[in-house]
Amino acid sequence: AQKVTQAQTEISVVEKEDVTLDCVYETRDTTYYLFWYKQPPSGELVFLIRRNSFDEQNEISGRYSWNFQKSTSSFNFTITASQVVDSAAYFCALSEAWSGGGADGLTFGKGTHLIIQP
Is the Cβ–Cβ distance between 97 and 32 less than 8 Å? yes
40 binds another protein (CB under 8 A): yes
Measured distance CA(113)–CA(91) in Å, rounded: 9
Kindly indicate which of the ranges 18-26, 32-40, 57-65, 68-76 contains the residues binding another protein, using the contact rule CB under 8 A: 32-40
Nearest to 4 by CA among 74, 60, 54: 74
88 binds another protein (CB under 8 A): yes
Nearest to 75 by CA among 97, 99, 87, 91: 91
- C-beta of 46 vs 69, nearer to another protein: 46
Residue in 28, 30, 42, 54 binding another protein, rule: CB under 8 A: 42
Q: Across-strand partners of 62?
A: none
CB of 71 to another protein, least distance (A): 27
Residues of this chain that bind another protein (CB under 8 A): 9-10, 37, 39-45, 47, 87-89, 91, 100-104, 106, 108, 110-111, 113
